[in-house]
Amino acid sequence: MSPLAAYPAVVVAAGIPVWIHGATPVMLLSLAAGALLWIAVTWRSLGSGLVGALSATAAYAIALWIEPAAGIVEALAFGASLLIVLQHTDFARRFHGAEVMPAIASAAFWRWFVTVMLAAGAIVALTAAVTFVTDGAPPAFRPLLTGIGAFLALGAAIAVFGRAR
């Protein structure tokens, strides 16, 4: 992980709420969030990163509340930028002062990239499924699709909790 990736992510995370709507409370919250996230990246403070991310989320929520028109891409970029800032801060905090093999840092970045890609894929798939169910599928198929969805969710929950034990 490199600060070169984290600092632009701070700008994105603090900038997206202002870009959606530049109201004064949004700007103030975004400014505070940007400063806190910048402190988190620079001084490896996960606490500051948490407060900064919560402030950015609050600013984003207010901007969405004021502005009815917003996109899915911005939302994904906002989540991905928060993830990379927090992940970088934690990485730098954990291994500060240690000699880190380059493969470790590239693996962490690769994991972030895969996560974002998976998130994008999941969002696209869910959007397509919702569109298909609400508009395309015949009403008779809806209980069947709900049953399949519930079955998959139950299977995923069992898999996750089983592994955790």
Q: By the criterion CB under 8 A, which residues form the site for other proteins?
A: 46, 49-50, 53-54, 57-58, 60-62, 64-65, 70-72, 74-76, 78-80, 82-83, 86-87, 90-91, 94-95, 97-101, 103-104, 107-108, 111-112, 115-116, 118-119, 122-123, 160, 163-164
How many Å apart are CA 82 and CA 154, to the nearest integer?
29
Amino acid at 38: W
Token readout for 23 is: 């109201």
Neighbours of 155 (CB within 10 A): 10
* Min CB(20)–other proteins separation in Å: 9
CB nearer to other proteins: give 126 or 144. 126
CB nearer to other proteins: give 72 or 144. 72
* Min CB(94)–other proteins separation in Å: 7
Token readout for 162 is: 């089983």
CB nearer to other proteins: give 7 or 67. 67
* Min CB(148)–other proteins separation in Å: 21
Largest CA distance in the chain: 62
Cβ atoms of 87 and 5 within 8 Å: the answer is no
* Min CB(119)–other proteins separation in Å: 4
How many Å apart are CA 11 and CA 34, to the nearest integer?
7
